[in-house]
Amino acid sequence: MRAACVIGWPVEHSRSPLIHNYWLKAYGIDGEYRHELVPREEFAAFVGSLAARGYVGANVTLPHKEAVLTLSQPDERARAVGAANTLWLENGALRSTNTDVEGFLDNLDACAPNWHCDLGKAVVIGAGGAARAVIYGLLGRGVPRIVVVNRTADRAAALRASFGGRMENAPWNDRNETLGDAGLLVNTTTLGMQGQPALELEVARLPTRAVVADLVYVPSVTPLMAAAKARGLRTADGLGMLLHQAVRGFALWFGRKPTVTSELRTLVEADLAKA
């Protein structure tokens, strides 16, 4: 039996076991996916003994996503993003990658095909870890201009410094002025999350061709998603990204590329609604 896990502190909130155990059952694979509650001070030893514990790989969540880079062999995208969320053993070596990048892009492709054609400019709200994955993905898909708007201007400036020439910054208070010619708007902040204020944004300013993506997945329909849908814009939500980012890990650990189905989405949505 092959086994994988999600390592975090806390970790009980993670829906990764629900997702991976659904696929294991759906494909009749003899495997198991578990939670592993591991504090910072025990993380290096835990990761170092992954194989001895019977694991073929793992997901890594807060607060370990950055620390794992020095404990594994990260690929180019994990290094560029500055964080990894997926580990696997390859010929005895512990490799790592960041699947938020493809999770974001694959969900966008599924929800809004051809979103990148005639895009012009993308506006990314937020400059944390998730923003780095989104920006890396957008640059890789050839987006010509990316405007990053963040409450703390220094963090947006740091993203511009690390990702280079196609990046611009705009002040937080001017965020509505950036929307008029944006083909894509992405919320990577925690605003709109359950218990947090909504992201205040004048969605009416976006062009009718614009696509709106939100990384927040609790609730599954955020105020931003609701406003974009009410305007008839195409949308890509955080739950879709969460499901798509899980695909690569499953394929690496269990040898089969799984499909993100509406049945899986309904299952996870129902579980999140209980929270």
The span of 40-48, 69-77, 146-154, 226-234 binding ligand NAP (CB under 6 A) equals 146-154
86-90/93-97 β-pairing = antiparallel
DSSP code string of 139-160: HHTT-SEEEEE-SSHHHHHHHH
* Residue 233 makes contact with ligand NAP by CB under 6 A: no
Does residue number 137 form part of the binding site for ligand NAP (CB under 6 A)? no
For ligand NAP, which residue of 127, 138, 203, 227 counts as binding (CB under 6 A)? Answer: 127
CA distance 209 to 212: 10
Marked catalytic residue, from 65, 121, 257, 274: 65
φ/ψ (deg, to 5) at 238: -70, -30
What is the SS3 assignment for 54?
Answer: coil
Catalytic residue flag (residue 121): no
Tokens of 178: 């950036």
Return d(Cα 87, Cα 47) in angstroms, integer: 9
- Which of 71, 185, 186, 191 lies at the binding interface for ligand NAP (CB under 6 A)? 191
Residue positions counted in the chain: 275
Give me the residues paired with residue 60 across strands: 7
Candidates 48-56, 67-75, 86-94, 212-220 — which segment interacts with ligand NAP by CB under 6 A? Answer: 212-220
Would you say 43 and 72 are in contact if contact means Cβ atoms under 8 Å apart?
A: no
Q: Which amino acid is at 205?
A: R
**Which of 59, 150, 178, 222 is close enough to bind ligand NAP by CB under 6 A?**
150
Could you say whether residue 245 binds ligand NAP (CB under 6 A)? yes
- Of the candidate spans 2-10, 34-42, 224-232, 241-249, the one that interacts with ligand NAP by CB under 6 A turns out to be 241-249
- Give the x-and-dash track for 51-90 against ligand NAP (CB under 6 A): ----------------------------------------
Active site residues: 65
Contacting residues toward ligand NAP, per CB under 6 A? 100, 103, 126-131, 150-152, 155, 188-191, 193, 215-217, 238, 241-242, 245
